[in-house]
């Protein structure tokens, strides 16, 4: 029955995985850059039968740096640029300095909601993120994880050792992460 059928899902962090991350938040459309080959990578996932869901912290909203409308404008652009292949974008507009929330990564509630909504098959689903806080909730819930390496400019403070201990796999970018997934299911 299709209603009870579980789905293989790819949960994606946004900043640093789909678009270039920025030190001062990515919210201005004129500075919102989709990373190379992201549309093709999403198509490959779609063609391989994976659902595609974004799970993103957007604490700049809580901090008053930008509004939901700024974010929505960027999401509309993201969807248009990537062929509307992202099925849902979950975002946590909170920050502990303003409002505590279990939806904000590394807490897992946002991911749990997405898993429930998409009836994700945990054993066949993955989380792709560029930060420890993306992968902590995924590992807690039993998803497979891939750590995407951020631009060298953005990650000077992080050591290679740390990277390797967090994700189960490490990829340079989303297309490489997709290849890892396809190699696992073949
Ligand atoms: Mg990120």
Q: What is the CATH number of the domain that holds 87?
A: 3.40.50.1000
3-state SS class at 93: coil
Residue 2 in any domain: the answer is: no
Residues with active-site annotation = 13, 15
- Tens digits of residue pLDDT in 44-83: 999 999 999 999 999 999 999 999 999 999 999 999 999 9
Q: What is the mean pLDDT of the chain?
A: 91
Place of tokens 């300095």: 97
CA of 121 to the centre of ligand 1 (A): 24
User: Within 32-105, where are the H helices?
Assistant: 38-47, 59-62, 68-81
Q: How far apart are CA 51 and CA 135, in angstroms?
A: 18
Answer yes or no: is pLDDT of 33 > 90: yes
Domain enclosing residue 76, as ranges? 9-185
Rg of the chain, C-alpha, whole Å: 16
**Residue 95's pLDDT band (boundaries 50, 70, 90)?**
very high
Query: Ligand 1 centre from 66 Cα, in Å?
Result: 17
SS3 call for 51: strand
Domain assignment of residue 130, yes or no: yes
Q: Quick check: pTM over 0.75?
A: yes
Residue 20 lies inside a defined structural domain of this protein: yes
Number of domains in the chain: 1
102 within a domain of the structure (yes/no) = yes
* pLDDT bracket for residue 3 (50, 70, 90): low
With respect to residue 75, please indicate whether it lies within any of the assigned structural domains.
yes
Name which of 18-27, 71-80, 89-98, 107-116 the model is least confident about: 18-27
163: pLDDT strictly greater than 80: no
Residue 30: inside a domain: yes
Q: How far apart are CA 22 and CA 33, in angstroms?
A: 10
Rounded-to-10 torsion of CA 94, 98, 101, 103: 10
- Domain-embedded: residue 4: no
pLDDT at 153: 43
pLDDT(160) > 90 = no
Residue 87 within a domain: yes
Protein residues within 5 Å, CB atom, of ion ligand 1:
13, 15-16, 130-131
Tell me what pLDDT residue 172 has.
Answer: 95
């Amino acid at each position: 029955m299709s209603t009870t059928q579980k789905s293989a899902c790819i949960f994606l962090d946004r900043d640093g995985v789909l678009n270039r991350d920025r030190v001062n938040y990515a919210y201005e459309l004129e500075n919102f850059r989709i990373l190379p080959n992201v549309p093709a990578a999403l198509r490959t996932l779609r063609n391989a039968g994976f659902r595609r869901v974004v799970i993103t912290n957007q604490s700049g909203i809580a901090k008053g740096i930008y509004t939901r409308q700024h974010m929505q404008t960027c999401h509309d652009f993201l969807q248009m640029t990537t062929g509307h292949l992202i099925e849902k974008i979950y975002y946590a507009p909170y920050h502990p300095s303003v409002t505590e929330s279990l939806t904000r990564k590394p807490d897992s509630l946002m991911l749990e909601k997405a898993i429930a909504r998409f009836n994700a098959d945990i054993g066949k689903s993955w989380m792709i993120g560029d930060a420890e806080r993306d992968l902590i909730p995924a590992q807690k819930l039993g998803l497979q994880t891939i750590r995407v390496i951020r631009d060298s400019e953005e990650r000077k403070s992080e050591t290679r050792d740390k990277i390797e201990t967090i994700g189960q796999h490490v990829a340079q970018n989303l297309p490489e992460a997709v290849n890892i997934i396809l190699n696992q299911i073949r």
